[in-house]
Amino acid sequence: MIKKVLIANRGEIALRIMRTCHEMGLKTVAVFSTADRDSLHVRFSDEAVCIGPPESRDSYLRPDRIIAAAEVTGADAIHPGYGFLSENAAFSEICADHKIKFIGASPENIRLMGNKSFAKKTMLAAGVPVVPGSDGEVATPEEGLKVAEEMGFPVMIKASAGGGGRGMRLATGSDEFERQFKTASAEAGSAFGNEGVYIEKFVSGPRHIEIQVLGDGTGSCIHFGERECSIQRRHQKLVEESPSPVVDANLRARMGESAILGASSVNYEGAGTVEFLLDDQGNYYFMEMNTRIQVEHPVTEEVTDCDLVEYQIRVAMGEKVRKRDIPLLGHAIECRINAENPFNNFSPSPGLIQTFHPSGGHGVRVDTHAYAGYQIPPYYDSMIAKLIVRARTRDLAIRKMLRALDEFVIEGVHTTIPFHQQLLSSDAFQKGDFDTRFLETFVLKPPNL
């Protein structure tokens, strides 16, 4: 049984998790760095423990300090949120060693999915479509070149330890293959301490579509439909929606079945996300599996009316997942409001929030830890709020989002609000006509002075 949950995170997600804990009658423990003393997750928790100085590596990334905080407060479970230690297999193991339930995937699952080459092999064996490529890692440039020439160029060279766009290289022909291979491998070695790479066929202009799953660790698994996440800039998502404008009921059923097949084949426990590339022919391929709750989980919550954090906790308490179809109702869109200047290359804009007036009204949800007078520390992620809307149709959701963006007032720092206003006003976005390259060519009009 879980009675007290330590939330090993900060910002909006710490608050988000805390809310569900309190609704479930669970006590909460916040941890915070000295930069987050005045943060809302500290004020709203039942107890709070300072775990170190501002730098993440000395606070939110310190397993020893987080375990100590759990032991002194008597927390019997730890929710890691996203980022920080959420996909750290060693941390998940340390929790188990201390008889503290890690609310997330098993160490084995985290380790397996953290190695993208093993993850791909596992999915292929389970019958999930994967991008054609090498059978696991390739040891030498010569071996890689053979695979590439048999498959045909262009090809991607990907680091096994990479992911989320890190450690990838494109090779367009035989002449540049060896150089790209060596660069990818060397970069992976210094960035991840693992030089292993694998090869796959390049998929041109794909969409990023991901399926939310939940497993109970015994092979029983369900899915909650897809999220369209193609609106990204340098592998950072800016807008997500559910359903995808290009996924029909048939494709959703097939992708959902594939995601379940993959997750249940590893007895997946907890909430997870199976990421797919969708090409312009309607073919989908497994890309990665994320073993955490994701930033964009609210769009799924809005169209399924499910509290995914509650499900994470119930599964962690040993509850089984009942096989069922989860209907999607209407349409949800999320805009990430970052303290960044979209007119200056999205440069970070930390500092004092002087005015903070979040949007409201029917079908509008704001997940945030910010308030008027809040000082955004420069040490962490620049996301200060998620604005989520839901409506009956995609067109109505876009209209509601434009209204909600117009109503959101943040003064004192730059934000991505004007970017979202222009994006959601664009013809291409409104038609659903975009892929992962869309923001490379999207031109922002200068701000009105």
Part of the chain binding ligand MV4 (CB under 6 A), chosen from 64-72, 202-210, 319-327, 347-355: 202-210
The amino acid occupying position 363 is G
Least distance to ligand MV4 from the beta carbon of 292, Å? Answer: 15
Of 48, 89, 113, 156, the one binding ligand MV4 by CB under 6 A: 156
Least distance to ligand MV4 from the beta carbon of 131, Å? Answer: 4
DSSP 8-class letter at 338: E
Of 195, 241, 288, 301, the one binding ligand MV4 by CB under 6 A: 288
- The dihedral built from the CA positions of residue 258, 253, 433 and 330, taken in this order, carries a sign that is negative
- Smallest CA-to-CA distance from 60 within 23, 13, 4 is with 13
CA distance 235 to 45: 33
390 tagged catalytic: no
Residue numbers 322-381 binding ligand MV4 by CB under 6 A: none
CA distance 41 to 39: 6
Part of the chain binding ligand MV4 (CB under 6 A), chosen from 21-29, 37-45, 157-165, 324-332: 157-165
CA distance 432 to 25: 42
- β-strands 47-52, 375-376 pairing: unpaired
Of 405, 436, 438, 439, the one binding ligand MV4 by CB under 6 A: 436
Query: What contacts 212, CB < 8 A, 6 or more positions away?
Result: 223, 224, 225, 226, 227, 271, 272, 273, 297, 300, 308
CA distance 422 to 253: 33
Decide: is 219 part of the binding site for ligand MV4 (CB under 6 A): no
- β-strands 101-102, 77-79 pairing: parallel
Decide: is 287 part of the binding site for ligand MV4 (CB under 6 A): yes
Decide: is 114 part of the binding site for ligand MV4 (CB under 6 A): no
- β-strands 77-79, 4-7 pairing: parallel
Letters for 223-252 (x = contact with ligand MV4 by CB under 6 A, - = none) are ---------x--x-----------------
Least distance to ligand MV4 from the beta carbon of 162, Å? Answer: 8
Nearer of residues 273 and 304 to ligand MV4, judged by Cβ: 273
CA distance 310 to 320: 13
Strand order of the sheet with strand 27-33?
Answer: 47-52, 27-33, 4-7, 77-79, 101-102
Nearer of residues 187 and 216 to ligand MV4, judged by Cβ: 187
Least distance to ligand MV4 from the beta carbon of 34, Å? Answer: 34
Least distance to ligand MV4 from the beta carbon of 198, Å? Answer: 10
Residues binding ligand MV4 (CB under 6 A): 131, 156, 163-165, 200-203, 206, 208, 232, 235, 277, 287-288, 436
Q: Annotated active-site positions, please?
A: 292
